[in-house]
Amino acid sequence: MVSGHAQTVPALNGPYASDDVDNPKVTDYSVGKSVIYAAFGWSQADDALNTMFELAAKHGAGFFDVSGDNGGVWVPDSAGNYSCIHGDGA
């Protein structure tokens, strides 16, 4: 969130929160030991999905598209290619 994506998906709360409360890209984050949950406005759904896949690939992390029609769960293989192991693979 503090990386170069801070302008792309600025935080709603916390020390890195955006001052622009009207920015539709402001995102609510919850961070746990082995999960990052990001809640976006529906108007940002397509851009958010692309950004989250980009960040997951950059960091070799799995991705759960919780808002997808069938909740796709994506995981990388050792070469960094993603496959859908549950839900919608579209």
- What is the per-residue DSSP string for 42-85? GGGHHHHHHHHHHHHHHHT--EE-TTSTT--EEEE-TTS-EEEE
- pLDDT greater at residue 88 or residue 76: 76
Token pair 């808002």 is at which residue? 67
Q: How confident is the model at residue 5 (pLDDT cuts 50, 70, 90)?
A: low
Round to whole Å and give the CA distance between 24 and 13.
14
CB 53 within 8 A of CB 61: no
- In tens, the pLDDT along 45-58 reads 888 888 888 888 88
Q: Where are the domains of the chain?
A: 4-86
- pLDDT of residue 1 exceeding 50, the answer is no
pLDDT tens, position by position, 26-45: 889 888 998 889 898 889 88
Among 23, 56, 54, 57, smallest CA distance to 40 is for 23
With 90 as the cut, is the pLDDT of residue 15 above it? Answer: no
